[in-house]
Structure 1
């Protein structure tokens, strides 16, 4: 009989090796979100009203960007567990989470407020967003009231709040039952979405009908609708309940985070041994293709969660095995480290480019390509500045993370920071590849 000891679940006491491939993969998830946003939030007229746009948007529908968000939710759970030390102070854990999220969020929000002229007298359109509580109310006046991508941060905050509270339960799960708990979470998620589909009002068709909200005329407006004065003036903008429950509601997305937590335990204990990335990627592609034939509430995350979790676990296992692919390259790791800021600044950048470049003019497909490329370059540049000048210095100075020196770092004259749970989806390149003894330490089990 095999039983996991306390030591097998309490594996962070020595610190685990970094996972650079997961850091690099963050960029691709952020880029998927950007591509969708560039289609929806860059009001390039008359291109957005053309048959070509509708064809492109059928190929790159809402669930394309939603898959990137699903990756982040699973990855957050994985990295939080991977980095968390069981004897850590819970208040310190929460402080690091606040320090990681809020400064970059507030900077991007304030920039957006200045760019589009948000009416500060209407607290409902900006105060809930600044506090990151806006996604708990099913109204677009709050869900999409300010910097639209911040809706996912409401869910992230719930994840971080629940993690220390749930850790005793997570650690008590027998190792040989982890797979069954993961299967149970997947069944629970499908059951929730089925209940939303059957009993909650909302869209029921299977077509990919998501599209930007358009205004009359063939001249590009100065503001995309979510940034326009008319949007901010509306007293109440209801959202379809089933859509909100299945996509935006933080409690609904919580199981996705714990899928990542349980997958991290499996990898840490040596229970996930697959290092072949092709099978989970192929399964993910097939699951994503299936989103074309299911109702909207299944499109966003439910169908892709199982293969997405497998992809995350496999990439981590490859890092531990010393298999270095393109995502572990220094350039991809750098892009991954800036991806949180990139995710938050892209919508304000698009609003800026729309107001001072696109608005009042007409463009076709090539014009959209040009403005989307400019938005990408400016967003990457702004994200790099925010990461290097705000995010990284704040985390280094105020998170309370102590630095350690490894033998290799001492020889090279460098210091290496231990994995930081305050940065849920950021890892640093490993200074030294993990040794077999380290893997044995982090995956130890006792046999009785």
Structure 2
């Protein structure tokens, strides 16, 4: 993919309190994280039978396990902390900060949820199925009916809401860390994450094996169903679907993912203060690849983020440093920046699109691997088009019209 490089000249470090330079590579890289999630979801959520029951599918899923999508989510969590720190303006209104976060998160989330409600014919009388998800509080309860009861990818937004709520409260503490001690705090957070997941592994009931297993929930027969199980009426009717607590705590529970956000915040300070000097991307990517391969030989508690988050911090910080040095590369091209801008909408709309494609084209028929590949490609094209519409006709106009509306409102509560 080619395009014009946006960041072509080294950018001077921002003045204290001034506006910080744009970092287009971080925007462009968002697409790859969203695409990794899509690849996993296309395997799991497109019920193409008998392909999904074949030995080829089993082998393919061993090569592309759940931690591929989990790596994309980890990238988003670290990136959120970095960008929120990088973009905050000292002295700005806390109320304005919260308003902008609500405006950025909820409209696109609600639009994608509405598509899913219609596509899956969700029984609205069962409030537990959709209300917690709609409000983004569902990941605080360890039950699959609430974690996966509606638009499955929206689970990560429950953690993002916690991140944003905590930032104005904890930012003064972050700013009190001496510049020379930032590396110690970053290392301490990484160690804390490993200890936390070890406590979950040793002390909380849940899976203890190292197998790469996240097979789709299959129904009898070799004819493709009209609904993947997470979007079926049988799923919505269940009174309770408990999730193993150690897995829920390791992956879904917002408080468990909070340190990843603040690793991104600390990385933002390191780059901003000139203490992250790495601009070569090969070493961070190699470290990430090694950590990803290591997920094959550790228990599930460590597969989803614990091993990946350190290298992910290095990738995010290095991409930012490359932009500041004027060597952004592929991710800073206009084409990739555009894909990065629509990636949030793409992340949320992909599953509703798969539900519609399953209902219209897959259900009641039989397909092999080429059939799955065709429907995966169709899902990618359709989800990208839908994401572009959501971004250009909903997200961008709302942010342009309302995000700055309260900028002039004075508030006693301000960011440091």
TM-score higher than 0.5: yes
1:360 equivalent in alignment to 2:382: no
Matches within 5 A, 1:115-264: 115-264=119-268
The reply on whether 1:275 has 2:279 as its aligned counterpart is yes
| Contact 1:11–1:268 under 8 Å retained in 2 | no
For the 8 Å contact 2:14–2:20, the answer to whether it is kept is no
CA shift for structure 1 position 121: 0.4
- Specify the alignment match of 2:82 in structure 1: 78
Say which SS state the counterpart of residue 126 (structure 1) adopts. helix
Within 5 Å, give how 1:284-303 maps onto structure 2: 284-303=288-307
Q: Find the partner of 1:320 among 321, 324, 332.
A: 324
Displacement after TM superposition at 1:324 (Å): 2.6
Matched, 1:311 2:326: no
Tell whether 2:330 aligns with 1:330: no
TM superposition shift of 1:13: 2.0
CA distance in 2, matches of 1:11, 1:51: 59
For residues 239 and 15 of structure 2, the distance between their equivalents in structure 1, rounded to whole angstroms, comes to: 51
Deviation string, structure 1 residues 347-385 (Cα, Å, up to 9, x no partner): 000000000100000000000000000000000000000
How far apart in 2 are the matches of 1:313 and 1:195? 29
Aligned to 1:391: 395
- The CA RMSD measured in Å over matched residues stands at 1.3
Q: Which runs of 5+ in 2 are unaligned?
A: 1-12, 408-416
Query: Could you tell me how far 1:91 is from its partner in structure 2?
Result: 0.8
Aligned counterparts of 2:74 and 2:342: Cα–Cα separation in 1 = 18
Relative to the length of structure 2, the TM-score reads: 0.94
For the 8 Å contact 1:273–1:317, the answer to whether it is kept is yes
Q: What's the CA shift string for 1:106-137, capped at 9, x where partnerless?
A: 00001110111000000000000110001100
For residues 45-90 of structure 1, what are the alpha-carbon distances to aligned partners after superposition, in whole Å with 9 as ceiling and x for unaligned? 0000001001111010000000000000000000000000121100
- CA offsets per residue over residues 146-194 of structure 1, 9 Å max, x none? 0000000000000000001011000000001000000000010000000
Write the deviation string for residues 400-425 of structure 1: whole angstroms up to 9, x where unpaired.
1799xxxxxxxxxxxxxxxxxxxxxx
What SS does the aligned partner of 2:91 have?
Answer: coil
Change in CA separation of 1:227 and 1:11 when aligned onto 2, cut-off 3 Å: farther
Counting matched residue pairs gives 395
Deviations 1:230-272 (A, max 9, x none): 0000000000000000000000000000000000000000000
The match for 2:50 is 46
- Alpha-carbon distance change, 132 to 402 in structure 1, aligned in 2, over 3 angstroms: closer
Question: Kindly tell me: are residues 402 and 326 of structure 1, through their superposed partners in 2, closer, same or farther at Cα, counting changes over 3 Å?
Answer: farther
Deviations 1:193-235 (A, max 9, x none): 0000001000000010211100000000000000000000000
Measured after TM superposition, the shift of residue 331 of structure 1 is: 0.4
Q: Secondary structure at the match of 1:37?
A: helix
2:35, 2:297 → 1: CA distance?
A: 25
Q: Which residue of 1 aligns with 2:39?
A: 35
Cα distance between partner residues in 2 of 1:324 and 1:158: 31
Q: Is the CA contact (8 Å cut-off) linking 2:14 and 2:21 kept in structure 1?
A: no
Which residue of 1 is the match for residue 5 of structure 2? Answer: none
In structure 1, the partner of 2:3 is: none
2:75 and 2:64 mapped to 1: Cα distance? 17
* TM-score relative to the length of structure 1: 0.87
Q: How far, CA to CA, are the matches of 1:107 and 1:345 in structure 2? A: 9
Residues 379 and 237 (structure 1 numbering): CA distance in 2 closer, same or farther, change over 3 Å? same
Aligned-residue offset at 1:12: 6.0
Aligned residue in 2 for 1:105: 109
Residue 10 of structure 1: how far off its partner (Å): 10
Q: Distance in 1 between matches of 2:331 and 2:406?
A: 27
SS at match of 1:169: helix
The answer (yes or no) to whether the contact 1:12–1:84 under 8 Å persists in 2 is no
Q: Which residue of 1 aligns with 2:72?
A: 68
SS in 1 for 2:122: coil
1 CA distance for matches of 2:195 and 2:151?
A: 31
CA shift digits 1:274-319 (9 cap, x unpaired): 1010011001100000000000010000001111000000000000
Structure 1 residues 389 and 206, CA, compared in 2 at 3 Å: closer, same or farther?
Answer: same
Deviation of 1:11 after TM superposition, in Å, equals 5.8
Distance in 2 separating the partners of 1:390 and 1:12: 34
Asked if structure 1 preserves the Cα contact closer than 8 Å seen for 2:96 and 2:406, the reply is no
